[in-house]
């Protein structure tokens, strides 16, 4: 999967909060939070490279990809920065478009 620079930023932003991903994963699939957190924290290392290489993802990694695709926090932060005059509307729109592309492409790529 080819990822743009902005898509990598979005993914990296979410990978920096493995506890948030673990909470979502636990809520969606059940399991022990501590175990899930440790597995996600470990899977974060090299995750972007694994996505780009087209390597087969584990079910946990697929869950991470779905979480990233559905998480709009980075977009929300971008628009907040626009309202504070710290980011251009053009940059925020590019971030929003990149997030939308992840939302569309991740689930499709996971099915193939």
- Please, are residues 91 and 78 in contact by the beta-carbon 8 Å criterion? yes
What pLDDT sits at residue 106?
75
- pLDDT bucket at 75, cuts 50 / 70 / 90: very high
What pLDDT sits at residue 28?
86
Angle at 58 between CA 56 and CA 60, to 5 degrees: 145
Per the structure, how many domains does the chain have? 1
What pLDDT sits at residue 19?
95
* Residue-wise pLDDT tens digits, 7-55: 999 999 999 999 999 999 898 888 999 999 999 999 999 999 999 998 9
Question: Residue 42's domain spans which residues?
Answer: 5-111
pTM metric for this prediction: 0.89
């Amino acid at each position: 999967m080819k990822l743009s620079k902005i898509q990598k930023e979005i993914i990296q932003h979410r990978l920096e909060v493995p506890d948030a991903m673990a909470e979502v994963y636990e809520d969606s699939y059940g399991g022990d939070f501590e175990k899930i957190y440790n597995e996600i924290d470990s899977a974060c290392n090299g995750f972007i490279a694994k996505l780009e290489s087209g390597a087969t993802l584990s079910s946990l990694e697929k869950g991470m990809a779905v979480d990233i695709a559905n998480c709009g926090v980075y977009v929300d932060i971008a628009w907040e920065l626009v309202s504070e005059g710290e980011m251009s509307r053009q940059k925020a729109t590019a971030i929003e478009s990149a997030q939308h592309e992840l939302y569309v492409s991740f689930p499709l790529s996971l099915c193939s």
